[in-house]
Amino acid sequence: MDGMLAPRRPLIYLDANATEPLRPQARAAVLAALDAVGNPSSIHAAGRGARRLLEDARSRIAARFGMAAADVVFTSGGTEANALALAGLSGGRRVIIGATEHDAVRAAAPGAAVLPVSRAGAADLSALEQLLAEGPALLCLMMANNETGVLHPIAEAAQLCRRYGALLHVDAVQAAGRMAFTLDGLGADSLALSGHKLGGPPGAGALLLRTGLDVQALIAGGGQERGRRGGTPALPAIAGFAAALDHDQDMAAMAPLRDRAEAAACAAGAIVCGGGARLPNTTCLARPGVRADTQVIALDLAGIAVSAGAACSSGKVARSHVLSAMGLGELAGCAIRVSLPWNATEADVDAFATAYAALPARMAA
Amino acid sequence: MIYLDNQATTACDPAVVAAMMPYFLEEFGNPHSAEHAMGERAADAVARARGHIAALIGAEPREIVLTSGATEANNLAIKGAARQAGTAGPHRIVTVATEHKCVLQTVLDLADEGFEPVVLPVDRNGLLDPDRLRHALRTPTLLVSIMAVNNETGVIQDLAALGAIARQAGALLHSDLAQAAGKIALDVGTMGLHLGSLSAHKLYGPKGIGALYVRRRPRVRLKPLFSGGGQERGLRSGTVPAPLVVGFGEACRLAAIHLASEPARIAGLRAHMARRLEADIPGLIHNNAGAPVVAGNLSLRLPHTNALQVIAGASDICVSTGSACTSAEVAPSHVLTAMGLTRAEAASTLRIGIGRFTSAADIDAAAAALANAHARAMPEHAEA
């Protein structure tokens, strides 16, 4: 098998929250950037051309979130953007993170106070107020959860943060490109974004900072990104990231497709984890008594790619900390995530429904 | 436009672009999604690429930690080793005045964390005197960082000799290999390296990907720069960008093949360029004449002129005054001033980087344009 791809089979990809397929306009932008020779820091014609691509991408991303271009710091991805925010904005402040944050945030803030969530998965605002009253804080809250799609009450949390003088960093990795919002509209102080979660290629992300806020670089270098992030920028990935955001697809129109998948799964015995406002493309389906990895493998054999939670280092399936935090107990080990990509079709959803109905009803968990 | 700035960045090889395309498009799975077939195929592609990267420097695939580039790899190596060791043992971290800015900055920043940065001078040819290193290492030292090939002058340090001194002193040895990989043969074993940094876009791969070699036997321990999902054995969290890694792997595979003939071809082009410019620009001086230099590099002092004027006067020719990171700065190159050049001499220096896609016709056209721009930039009194 060395040197060649494993045999392919027709595949229905419903794991968009791990990575979105490349959008066509992002493909074009990646190709154009791969064609451009030149380091954006060089002053000759090739360098100036690369610089234009970089600054054009920066301006377009800034505009999308109602910001100035100078407040966009390009990083290698969402993990680095979150780490940069946590390291750069926490000086002298207590760090508070949501109980259902991504591993990237949990690992970057090991001593943080944890803000509990409701059974539906949303941050508990009265608990937040108590935590904020204890002293100056940096709150790190994700806009949309990667496993359940549940949206946190960011605007309300932002009001509380303002009242108590706290800073608010929003991990917007799953929400960006799927909902329209601005930094000011949310009332946030910073946003973390990831290109490959919104239809760009992997390898680029950004930290967006409220004007006037600054961060100390995690990666020292040749003065790139206004001294906030060293290293030659990943131009093709950045160009693809900006282009992928420039779409006019109404992602809310995906909700009926998601609801169709959900209804079929529920008819086959699934329980939906998480409620209230959610991303339009995501559902988290628990099947009592059937281990999540068993379900994922069975669906994979049927040619359907879903996941049992976050795609991270181990590849092994641990009990979801997200569902545990929601108080779902045993169900936390029995849930799969179905996340529709931007190009999902009704036929994809129906194929999923058929395969899901054929899963064993109950097995030793 | 003729591109002669291959130290700043190189064009992505069309074969590299072709290798990446399937992983941008149909095989877009997240390599950490090991639960489904698409994720597995992406993971397999990353594993193959990691093998090619390792092979170029004589390492094992498990010794390759993927990063966003050489800058991050340099930061991870130096800060990671220092923070892992802490300040209970040796505090001293030794590097050289001609290192890339990101290495110098990283070493100097560690003073805030209780370490003792030492920056050693070089001689007029840009070489580090082994006795200087020996002297510095009389004080117990945690880590020595010496680049293999300089990005402005192309000068090759004698890492075999310098590394032996570092190892005898019990220090970890890190080398920024970004400008060396694909230009000279590298073997981390014979070089005795503990840590080595690589960049894809300096060897005809894509921007946004690089690697740190971290020796396993005996194992070198590092603290990560930031935490997260624990990818890359916990040393570098974040989704591994499979298409960029595939491109990096292909670039390394090609580099290993091209090493047999490419340096000789490029050295021929450089000799031709040097002859043309020497004939047309009397008094031209090579900054690195007394040191071994990689094939594509020319670092030339133009008499009586500011190199920026010459660059501006030859707008179709992409050459530079020095490092890209600082090329917009008015300050003179820290590399050239470390070699003892005056500010004026540094300001009159032109860097030319010949690469894989440079043709003999490119050299003729560029030499003519540069000589012409130089003549026009000469002050009136110098023409007399």
pLDDT above 80: residue B325:
no
Yes or no, beta carbons of A46 and B3 under 8 Å apart: yes
Chain B CB contacts of A82 below 8 Å:
228
For B100, name the nearest residue in chain A, comparing CA atoms only. A222
First to last CA, chain B: 33
Using the Cβ of A91 and the Cβ atoms of chain B, whether some distance falls under 8 Å is answered with: no
CATH code of the domain occupying A24-245: 3.40.640.10
Residue pLDDT, tens place only, B147-201:
999 999 999 999 999 999 999 999 999 999 999 999 999 999 999 999 999 999 9
Which residues between 292 and 351 in chain A have a beta carbon less than 8 angstroms from any beta carbon of chain B? Answer: 293, 296-297, 299-300, 305-308, 310-317
pLDDT above 70: residue A9:
no
Considering the four listed CATH numbers 1.10.3720.10, 3.40.47.10, 3.40.640.10, 3.40.109.10, the one that applies to the domain covering B14-258 is: 3.40.640.10
Residue pLDDT, tens place only, A72-88:
999 999 999 999 999 99
For chain A, give the percent of residues with pLDDT over 70: 93
- Full-model pTM: 0.95
Question: Tokens representing A365?
Answer: 């968990």
Chain B CB contacts of A305 below 8 Å:
29, 33, 36-39
Segments of chain B assigned to CATH 3.40.640.10 = 14-258
pLDDT score at A302: 94
CATH fold of B2-9+261-383: Aspartate Aminotransferase, domain 1 (3.90.1150)
Yes or no, beta carbons of B207 and A232 under 8 Å apart: yes
* Residue from A250, A262, A254 nearest A338 by CA: A262
Yes or no, beta carbons of B102 and A41 under 8 Å apart: no
pLDDT score at A256: 98
For B70, name the nearest residue in chain A, comparing CA atoms only. A231
Average pLDDT over residues B89-107: 97
Yes or no, beta carbons of B239 and A201 under 8 Å apart: no
> pLDDT tier at B35 (50, 70, 90 boundaries)?
confident
pLDDT score at A311: 52
Average pLDDT over residues B58-68: 98
What does each C-alpha distance from A205 to B174, B282, B383 come to in angstroms?
28, 50, 53
Yes or no, beta carbons of B32 and A219 under 8 Å apart: no
d(CA B211, nearest CA chain A) in Å? 13
For A310, name the nearest residue in chain B, comparing CA atoms only. B33
Using the Cβ of A84 and the Cβ atoms of chain B, whether some distance falls under 8 Å is answered with: yes
pLDDT score at B309: 92
- Residue B9: which of A80, A230, A232 has the nearest Cβ? A232
Complex ipTM, two decimals? 0.94
Considering the four listed CATH numbers 3.60.15.10, 3.90.1150.10, 3.40.50.970, 3.40.630.30, the one that applies to the domain covering A12-21+250-357 is: 3.90.1150.10
Q: Which of A4, A12, A17, A41 would you mutate first to test chain B, the one with the most B CBs within 10 A?
A: A41
Yes or no, beta carbons of B35 and A293 under 8 Å apart: yes
Sequence-distant (≥ 6) Cβ neighbours of residue B15 within 8 angstroms: B250, B254
